[in-house]
Amino acid sequence: MTGADVVLTLDLLGTVTFALNGAMTASRRVRLDIVGVLSLGVITAIGGGLIRDVLLGATPPAAFQHWYYLAAAFAGAAAAWVIARPPRGLHRAIVVLDAIGLSVFCVTGAHKAVELGLQPAPAILLGAITAVGGGTIRDVLVGDVPSVLTSELYAIPALAGAAVAVLAGGSAAAAAPAAVVGAVLCFAIRMLGVRFDLHAPARDPEA
Amino acid sequence: MTGADVVLTLDLLGTVTFALNGAMTASRRVRLDIVGVLSLGVITAIGGGLIRDVLLGATPPAAFQHWYYLAAAFAGAAAAWVIARPPRGLHRAIVVLDAIGLSVFCVTGAHKAVELGLQPAPAILLGAITAVGGGTIRDVLVGDVPSVLTSELYAIPALAGAAVAVLAGGSAAAAAPAAVVGAVLCFAIRMLGVRFDLHAPARDPEA
Amino acid sequence: MTGADVVLTLDLLGTVTFALNGAMTASRRVRLDIVGVLSLGVITAIGGGLIRDVLLGATPPAAFQHWYYLAAAFAGAAAAWVIARPPRGLHRAIVVLDAIGLSVFCVTGAHKAVELGLQPAPAILLGAITAVGGGTIRDVLVGDVPSVLTSELYAIPALAGAAVAVLAGGSAAAAAPAAVVGAVLCFAIRMLGVRFDLHAPARDPEA
């Protein structure tokens, strides 16, 4: 496998897991029909990439140009409809898979932003937007305040992973190792956050 | 009338009816001022097309390039403000007009996606997004879970109509008849769904 | 200072004040962590411009091409986190600053739309969208019906300011004075609306 193969494999793995997790999360909150479950799964999986590609002017977005993205997203969302109510053990697996998706998307998003000429700061931001964008659209559609805004370490690991990918991946030779290190760092921070229930500092609204 | 005239006429009819229906639907749910009623009517009418054109990179969107789209959308939304509380009989007419809008937009959206080089599967999806996108933005803005995700046959007829337009409209000669057949199929499925109160299978959230 | 310097200065002032105001408004409504406060501040500040640039096909958006926009947005949002609970007097200042942002963005947005070839009506609309777009995204994310749809004179001054900038700014020589007059008009209508508690006509939803 070449480096590009590795990135594509990870990207598709992230797409499947985001679709699975997105569809399940949405189903737990509101009554949805099969169209809703599939739509929210697919949107969670490809939404971040759509925002990234639209903001970069890279249209039509990758998800609409290569069949395997939509296929992976529909497969994950369909699996969520079939499984319906995951047993406890699977919930833990889903958290891990979601963290993999987060880690992959933050570095691939940041990498694409750099390739298309963005400066480091907006490229890091766009990497994080790619990672959290799909889940944010899903939360808005089901009427929730996006969880990324309120709790847990979710955006911070994505920003950290994207920062490593951008700042250490300056040369062509360094891009692949920087992406791997960035993704691993994001995954590590995210899982530590889940394991020790870490949260970013928060403030309650005025009484 | 040429084929292009027919498509444009249907497109404008869909725009007016979506604006009328969108503004009325929004007004029934939350307290809105005249800016809100007009905005939500216009967004319902042109929102799906904006998403389509942005995703296809066809910017500025058609709604901002040809005056008659905005004029049709504002006319429909203004009519909704004037009528305010439609009598019962008009409600039924609005459901029919909304189904016409759905049918027109799914085939014109899919057709444009094919023209701009998308493969069949994403083109069908984009046709359906064009048809349901405006109403989805409206529902999100007034704080509702988009009805397309929760109930009734709404996305399914749009997908069916778009599929016919894309799969049967491969050649230039076949494009116009395929669009008409697709739109009629979409309209028929939608109205059968309304008449017999058909719903896609759904699942309740966990207790 | 040249005319372009004046516009850029106003644009950055609007960005800072929108970020400050956006982050504070969001914090008053829901419990947010620091990521949420910063994100909502930045989105309020640059969201309208992102929508404008995406609709115009001017990608990557200006906010991602020039470091000072993101810097100004983050500075304003960070100030909101530090201040946390503004004393009464500051609230009044924030309303004024927000009106400045509204006034600046409606004319700069409309001006950019004209420059990129839009006709007057869509250019005026896009100017208003630039001015109210960021706050609208913020309201949707925190689960509120956007205030622009329900109350107060907010969209109307933006439309008025954009209309002056577009209709009076036809020639290159007239663009700068038309922008200034448009911004002043928008500011004046907005502040009169606040002072005398003016509202656009509204209708309650059906019982």
Q: How many structural domains comprise chain C?
A: 1
pLDDT digits (tens, 9 = 90+) for A95-135: 888 898 999 999 999 999 999 999 999 999 999 999 999 99
Residue A207 lies inside a defined structural domain of this protein: no
* Nearest-by-CA chain A residue for B123: A64
pLDDT at res. A187 = 94
Residue C60 makes CB contacts below 8 A (sequence gap 6+) with: A55, A56, A57, A116, A117, A118, A122, C53
Q: CA B54, CA C116: separation in Å to the nearest integer?
A: 16
> Are the beta carbons of B52 and B126 closer than 8 angstroms?
yes
Residue B110 makes CB contacts below 8 A (sequence gap 6+) with: B123, B124, B126, B127, B128, B130, B161, B162, B163, B165, B166, B182
Q: CA C124, CA A125: separation in Å to the nearest integer?
A: 30
Alpha helices in C84-154 (DSSP H): 88-115, 120-141, 147-150
Tell me the three state secondary structure of residue C64. Answer: helix
**Best mutation target, A149, A154, A156, to test chain C (most C CBs within 10 A):** A149
Residue C164 lies inside a defined structural domain of this protein: yes
Residue that is written with structure tokens 């007034």 in the block = B142
User: How do strand C32-33 and strand A32-33 relate by DSSP bridges?
Assistant: unpaired
Most confident of B149-153, C21-25, C184-188, C198-202: C184-188
Average pLDDT, chain A: 88
Residue B205 lies inside a defined structural domain of this protein: no
- The pair of structure tokens assigned to A179 is 């992406």
Q: Tell me whether the omega of the peptide bond preceding residue C122 falls within 30 degrees of 0, making it cis.
A: no
pLDDT at B87 over 80: no
pLDDT at res. A32 = 87
More confident residue, A111 or A27: A111
- Chain C positions contacting chain A at CB under 8 Å are 27-37, 39-40, 50, 54, 57, 59-61, 63-65, 67, 70, 84-85, 140-143
Tally the residues of chain C.
207
pLDDT at res. C2 = 63
Range of the domain at B36: 3-195
Closest to C202 measured CA to CA, from C153, C162, C157: C153
Residue B201 lies inside a defined structural domain of this protein: no
Residue C62 lies inside a defined structural domain of this protein: yes
Residue that is written with structure tokens 């890279």 in the block = A58
Residue B59 makes CB contacts below 8 A (sequence gap 6+) with: B53, C54, C55, C56, C57
Closest to A162 measured CA to CA, from A179, A139, A149: A179
Q: CA A176, CA A172: separation in Å to the nearest integer?
A: 8
Tell me the three state secondary structure of residue C94. Answer: helix
CB contact under 8 A, C28 and A149: no
Residue B144 lies inside a defined structural domain of this protein: yes
Q: Tell me whether the omega of the peptide bond preceding residue A201 falls within 30 degrees of 0, making it cis.
A: no
Residue C207 lies inside a defined structural domain of this protein: no
pLDDT digits (tens, 9 = 90+) for A58-81: 989 999 999 999 999 999 999 988
Average pLDDT, chain B: 88
Residue B202 lies inside a defined structural domain of this protein: no
pLDDT at res. A207 = 46
**Best mutation target, B29, B203, B204, B206, to test chain A (most A CBs within 10 A):** B203
Q: With cut-offs at 50, 70 and 90, classify the pLDDT of residue B207.
A: very low
